[in-house]
Structure 1
Amino acid sequence: MTSDNAIDSKIQVVLIDDDPHLRQALSQTLDLAGLKVLALADAQGLSARIERDWPGVVVSDIRMPGIDGLQLLEQLHARDSELPVLLITGHGDVPLAVQAMRAGAYDFLEKPFASDALLDSVRRGLAVRRLVLDNRSLRMALSDRQQLSTRLVGQSGSMARLREQIGALAGTRADVLILGETGAGKEVVARALHDLSSRRSGPFVAINAGALAESVVESELFGHEPGAFTGAQKRRIGKFEFANGGTLFLDEIESMSMDVQVKLLRLLQERVVERLGGNQQIRLDIRVIAATKEDLRQAADQGRFRADLYYRLNVASLRIPPLRERGEDVLMLFQYYADAAAERHGVLANELSAAQRALLLRHSWPGNVRELQNAAERFALGLELALDNSEPGPVEMTRTVAGGLSEQVEHFERALIAAEMSRSHTSVRSLAEALGIPRKTLHDKLRKHGLSFGGGEEPE
């Protein structure tokens, strides 16, 4: 996180020299060239003020009281080995400067030097610094995408959009409202937002407002002082204060009382918290991620949720698609969790049959990913794949399909073929063998149901 005393990212050059006349002359040279300069008489405490990704360069004299240029170089490179440090030397310090170059200094200038030499070295250092930070940013973006693909498994368009939205919001300071049904993965999304943000080294505090008794919710969230109420014998730090410097995830926000909603709105607007029974306002540096399974706009219209809090939260929102809208992500997720469970329990991974795959695709998944995880765990343990409100077997599976028997049979047939096709078959021959039907029959059924391999072709 950024220190309050950190060097401003708009500063391009930090100049350190204990000679006030030289310091002023060099500072003016850089300033006239359009560079933003911070001029200092000594290097005391400087290394702690320069963040790792600060986008500038440091110019320092070697001979200085206290911390000299070589010591400063060592301190700065301990934080960021790629930070350009330019050293200014007297004639007798050239061997020392060569030693510093071998230790990682970007350049050195021997006194007296022309203004153009200083400007040229600084500009080259800034160009190198931009390239380093761009490469870091690209590596971080690639790492973030890989993390999201691992955490939020799925190739459906809705999941791809969700990953893009998380990537766009994670690095901002905006509070976020997550919308999603029970079991859809709201805490997974909240954790991803935290871990991909600059707050990743700070705490991630998750609390379910719906699981808290009304009598303790304010104490849990805001904390209390001794004597604030009967039984409050000592100070308690609330969840908001505990999350200072990091992220607080507040699930089932729709269950909060109106009184607590008022306090939450104030906290979001002013970023201060006041413990119950106390008078001290504690300033917070936190990001709040709220989650709900309800339509908060509708709840606000019905008077069950504060409209001003809804509009304050709804600035940046993410909708997690329910599993029933994610198509064949179901099969990918199921196999992912089944394989993980098999490894965890030390058993061989099982393969889904075509009928089982069709069953998974037909199920409505009211419990979403949480329900699927449990089903995958049972499957990995060799237990029967029986889903809630579902019976295994083609006859039972078709009961929920509208229409007569022929329509139900056709619907199941298409689902069965589509499920088998998703198993990475590369030819009609292997698909026909898996289904146990002749290739000509399979060709006819593919045309009948509008199914084809990738690119619309049907390879032999």
Structure 2
Amino acid sequence: MSAELSAKQNAAYQVLLVDDEQHIRLAVGQTLELAGYEVKTAESAEQALKVLDKDWSGIVVSDINMPGIDGLEMMQRIKEIDQDLPVILITGHGDISMAVGAMRDGAYDFIEKPFSSELLNDVVRRAAEKRSLTLENRELRKALEEQGGLGPRIMGNSAGIQQLRSMIQHIADTPADILIQAETGSGKDLVARYIHEHSNRREKNFVAINCGAVPEHLIESELFGHEKGAFTDAKSRRIGKFEHANGGTLFLDEIESMPLSLQIKLLRVLEERAIERLGSNELIPLDIRVIAATKVDLKALSEQGDYREDLYYRLNVVSLDIPALRERREDIPMLFHHFALIASAQYQKEVPQLSTDKMRALVAHNWPGNVRELRNIAERYVLLGNAYNFDIGQQESTLSDRKMTLPDQVEQFEKVVLEEELSRNNGSLKLTQEALGLPRKTLYDKMKKYELDKRDYK
């Protein structure tokens, strides 16, 4: 890595240098500044402690032997402020055993005098990166808590997810049936449960059935129930899914898999809000909300004659689209951290610190398996630690593999989003502007900045 690139990366890090000798502060401070760090100095522990708080974004480098509060006592006080703030101690030859003891008490590392600039920079770099990851994890935890609460959660701050939560808030307490459309692994089941838990039906049953997982000859009985003797193996009365969900929510996943012969019966139930068990002539009234989910275009399917058009329109009272994970890449760090914390609790293992390179690889991946794929990778990462090299395959990525500063990464990501949206809208600036929620002038300015031409996307 070039010295220039290293200095650019280090510019994001702060170092508080504590030493009672001015010439040491000048010499060590200059070394760190040449490496690109933002350096603050203090001539005493008392002065340094006034600067620090739990949100201090840097690290501390301190001499051990100082008048008044020495480096060891200062370290203990720092740990009371923030247990995770790295403290690097500078020691004389006679202080080695003392420094080793300090590391057992929580010091990040120690450097013995005299030391080279390379050694100092290496230790400081590792400590600064650790601090950066610690603060990033805290921000993620905070964001998770802000979106917390009991029951299922729809996590993320991307525009698509915020719009999804807003729509659910508006329709949660209405009796309207809902059609959820999303790719496999996007969380259709979670969204359905979220709607139920945030509605006035939350005290009643949420009943889910995968229409593609039940054999065709059994699905009618599963949905509507049957009376004893209704057919050969009907040895007792059975309550079906509709009846069991009465007062609550019935979730019909993979609704496209429902046999055509059953679709007309489902349509009748949706219109009449009543069922008959197989083998019975008694109508059972229902107070129920139906949420259906599909991974295909039901309208196209109905136009091809493979799905009843009237049922499609009856189900599609309210339509919710869950964005694919590749369309909301900014949510990936939060989601990964959330799934890693769940796996940590499940397996009683610590969550390893995730390197910037690995997070960049996660954000660059196209995620054909969506959130389910991300969850599996987070779980394996907790189980295997840093030995796990993310089996997300070799793929072309618009994000560079070289080391990049945060502003460079943000710009690269912004360019990717603009290119994807222009391509999706065939170069239409109006549709792109609306999809990204940008003022027209802002879109023009960004296209000019990244040398994008709408004609290249038609």
* TM-score of the two chains, using structure 1 as the length reference: 0.55
CA distance in 2, matches of 1:386, 1:305: 43
Picking from 386, 390, 395, the partner of 2:393 is 390
Aligned position for 1:136: none
Q: Is this contact kept in 2: 1:254–1:296, CA < 8 A?
A: yes
CA distance in 2, matches of 1:289, 1:184: 16
Aligned-pair identity (%): 51
Offset, 1:353? 0.8
Deviations 1:209-244 (A, max 9, x none): 110001100000011112222211111111001111
CA distance in 1, matches of 2:314, 2:403: 47
Instruction: Call closer, same or farther: CA 1:255–1:388 in 2, change over 3 Å.
Output: farther
Q: Is this contact kept in 1: 2:185–2:369, CA < 8 A?
A: yes
CA distance in 2, matches of 1:249, 1:144: 28
Offset, 1:340? 2.5
Amino acid at match of 1:334: F
Offset, 1:347? 2.0
Instruction: Call closer, same or farther: CA 1:282–1:179 in 2, change over 3 Å.
Output: same
Amino acid at match of 1:237: I
Aligned position for 2:181: 179
CA distance in 2, matches of 1:150, 1:200: 12
Q: How does 1:144-293 map to 2 (within 5 A)?
A: 147=149, 151-293=153-295
Instruction: Call closer, same or farther: CA 1:306–1:147 in 2, change over 3 Å.
Output: farther
Matched pairs, number:
270
CA distance in 2, matches of 1:389, 1:316: 35
Q: Is this contact kept in 2: 1:361–1:419, CA < 8 A?
A: no
Larger Rg: 1
Q: Is this contact kept in 1: 2:206–2:250, CA < 8 A?
A: yes
Deviations 1:39-96 (A, max 9, x none): xxxxxxxxxxxxxxxxxxxxxxxxxxxxxxxxxxxxxxxxxxxxxxxxxxxxxxxxxx
Amino acid at match of 1:248: L
Offset, 1:345? 2.1
Instruction: Call closer, same or farther: CA 1:329–1:418 in 2, change over 3 Å.
Output: farther
Offset, 1:416? 7.5
Instruction: Call closer, same or farther: CA 1:149–1:221 in 2, change over 3 Å.
Output: closer
CA distance in 2, matches of 1:414, 1:324: 22
Aligned position for 1:431: none
CA distance in 2, matches of 1:243, 1:415: 53
Offset, 1:344? 2.8
Offset, 1:414? 7.9
Q: Is this contact kept in 2: 1:323–1:365, CA < 8 A?
A: yes
Q: Is this contact kept in 2: 1:273–1:282, CA < 8 A?
A: yes
Aligned position for 1:303: 305
Q: Is this contact kept in 1: 2:147–2:155, CA < 8 A?
A: no
Amino acid at match of 1:411: S
- Could you list the structure 1 runs, at least 4 aligned residues long, displaced by more than 3 angstroms after superposition: 143-150, 383-389, 410-422
Amino acid at match of 1:309: L
- Aligned-residue Cα RMSD (Å) equals 2.9
Secondary structure of 1:215's match?
helix
* 2:401 pairs with 1:412: yes
Aligned position for 1:49: none
Q: Is this contact kept in 2: 1:357–1:420, CA < 8 A?
A: no
Secondary structure of 2:278's match?
coil
Q: Is this contact kept in 2: 1:177–1:289, CA < 8 A?
A: yes
Offset, 1:346? 2.1
Amino acid at match of 1:372: L
Q: Is this contact kept in 1: 2:158–2:331, CA < 8 A?
A: yes
Offset, 1:350? 1.3
Q: Is this contact kept in 1: 2:152–2:193, CA < 8 A?
A: no
Q: Is this contact kept in 2: 1:144–1:196, CA < 8 A?
A: no
For structure 1, the residue ranges without an aligned partner over 5 or more in a row are: 1-142, 392-396, 402-407, 423-449, 452-460
Picking from 330, 333, 356, the partner of 1:331 is 333
Instruction: Call closer, same or farther: CA 1:283–1:172 in 2, change over 3 Å.
Output: same
